[in-house]
């Protein structure tokens, strides 16, 4: 393959040498496009020696051969490592102020970026929004990892290791269109069960993981129906969302959508119970006194019902969010749950006050009906989404 490795100006640029080297040793042709800032951290002679090609930096070099677009047009795969917060902002805005920006805009190849920055920058609202924008356009993210950063700082923002980046990139290159012709239903978010017109019983699911699964499936050629329950983030424009509120509404929508689906992925967090009755007006504490008693009734088990009614060849994937932090104990819970539900695969993840729900990262273990582990993933929710789809294939 003809692979473009973009390098931007962060301290993690020194690790890009390992990325380039791994691609070359795997037999690929590598063109390095480095920003001026990147060359402050790693020298051009080093990159040229490792890539075995000239390093491209200047937008105005090779004008006669229209190099500012030719590099991107010829690429089979583009990897940017590291990707700084500034580069991600430019990418989200569609800017082409340098050769790397032009190369990306001129290419139709799959793109993988490996963010690297301080934790505060990664968690800044602007960066979060920019990541959502570029993933909505089909750009893939690996990491960032949690670990030692520059100086004494430690936390989310460390660039993924070169071997992990190369493995993800090569897997991505093989993914293009691999779900073409497949109809996939994805649920996302969390159902809410009203107590009255003002209050509800709900959960902390934002819908980020389900949206990431839907977007990853779209980028790989699938026809996707996304059923969103009270999403706290907007799904990108490439995916049409059918909005629902309660578990009963979700059950009805999934049953209809699943009728002609090849795969149903139940990533939504579904309420197990709902109030037996809903008050027509706001419940007042002045009339209820010190204790408010609620009677809850069990909701339908959507995943179990889907698994019972699935047609031949249809695949059902469930999610199990548990507060168990011990991996072995979590696996025991997951095996018991997949036996009860009857689905084909179950995605296990540990959630808590600060993990899982409403975050940008996730860590999952995927098991099949036999209880065997068939996949694991840690990183951004897009990375996790693609690992789930890889297992599906």
- Residues identified as active-site: 203
Contact by Cβ (8 Å): 48, 71: no
Give dist(CA 205, CA 128) in Å, integer.
17
Integer-rounded Cα radius of gyration of the chain: 23
Give dist(CA 279, CA 291) in Å, integer.
16
Question: Degrees (nearest 5) of the Cα angle 204, 132, 303?
Answer: 45
Helix extents (H) in 52-198: 67-74, 85-93, 99-105, 119-123, 125-136, 162-173
Contact by Cβ (8 Å): 192, 202: yes
Q: Residue 135 region, left (φ>0) first, then alpha (ψ -120 to 50), else beta?
A: alpha
Contact by Cβ (8 Å): 92, 138: no
> Which residue, chain included where needed, has tokens 């990306």?
104
Q: How far is CA 149 from CA 62, 112, 152, 160, 211, in A?
A: 37, 21, 7, 12, 29
- 3-class DSSP state of 4: strand
Q: How many beta carbons lie within 10 A of that of residue 18, not counting itself?
A: 16
Strands 111-115 and 140-141: parallel
Query: What does residue 386 show for φ and ψ, rounded to 5 degrees?
Result: -70, -30
Query: What does residue 265 show for φ and ψ, rounded to 5 degrees?
Result: -115, 110
Q: If you ran DSSP here, which 8-state letter would residue 63 be given? A: G
């Amino acid at each position: 393959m003809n692979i473009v490795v973009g390098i931007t100006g962060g301290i993690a640029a020194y690790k890009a040498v390992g990325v380039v080297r791994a691609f070359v040793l795997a037999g690929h042709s590598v063109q390095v496009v480095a920003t001026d800032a990147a060359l402050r951290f790693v020298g051009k002679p080093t990159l040229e020696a490792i890539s075995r090609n000239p390093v491209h930096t200047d937008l105005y070099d090779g004008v006669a051969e229209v190099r500012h677009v030719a590099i991107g047009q010829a690429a089979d795969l583009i990897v940017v490592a590291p990707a700084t917060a500034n580069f991600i902002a430019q990418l989200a805005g569609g800017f082409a102020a340098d050769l790397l920006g032009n190369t990306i805009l001129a290419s139709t190849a799959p793109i993988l970026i490996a963010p690297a920055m301080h934790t505060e920058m990664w968690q800044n609202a602007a960066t979060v929004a920019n990541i959502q924008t570029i993933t909505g356009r089909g750009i893939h993210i690996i990491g960032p990892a949690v670990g030692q950063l520059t100086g004494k700082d430690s936390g989310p923002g460390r660039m993924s290791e070169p071997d992990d980046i190369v493995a993800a990139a090569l897997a991505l290159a093989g993914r293009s269109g691999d779900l073409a012709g497949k109809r996939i239903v994805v649920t996302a978010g969390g159902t809410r069960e009203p107590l009255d017109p003002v209050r509800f019983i709900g959960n902390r699911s934002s819908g980020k993981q389900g949206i990431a699964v839907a977007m990853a499936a779209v980028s790989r050629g699938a026809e996707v129906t996304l059923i969103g329950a009270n999403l706290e983030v907007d799904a990108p424009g490439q995916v049409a969302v059918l909005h629902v509120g309660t578990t009963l509404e979700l059950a009805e929508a999934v049953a209809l959508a699943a009728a002609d689906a090849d795969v149903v992925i139940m990533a939504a967090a579904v309420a197990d119970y709902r109030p037996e009755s809903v008050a027509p007006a706001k419940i007042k504490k002045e009339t209820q006194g010190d204790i408010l008693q609620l009677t809850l009734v069990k909701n339908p088990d959507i995943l179990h019902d889907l698994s019972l009614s699935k047609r031949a060849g249809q695949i059902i994937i469930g999610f199990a969010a548990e507060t168990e932090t011990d991996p072995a104990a979590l696996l025991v819970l997951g095996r018991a749950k997949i036996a009860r539900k009857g689905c084909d695969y179950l995605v296990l993840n540990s959630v808590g006050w600060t993990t899982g729900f409403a975050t940008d990262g996730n860590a999952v273990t995927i098991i099949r009906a036999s209880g065997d582990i068939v996949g694991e993933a840690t990183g951004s929710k897009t990375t996790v989404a693609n690992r789930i789809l890889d297992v599906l294939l």
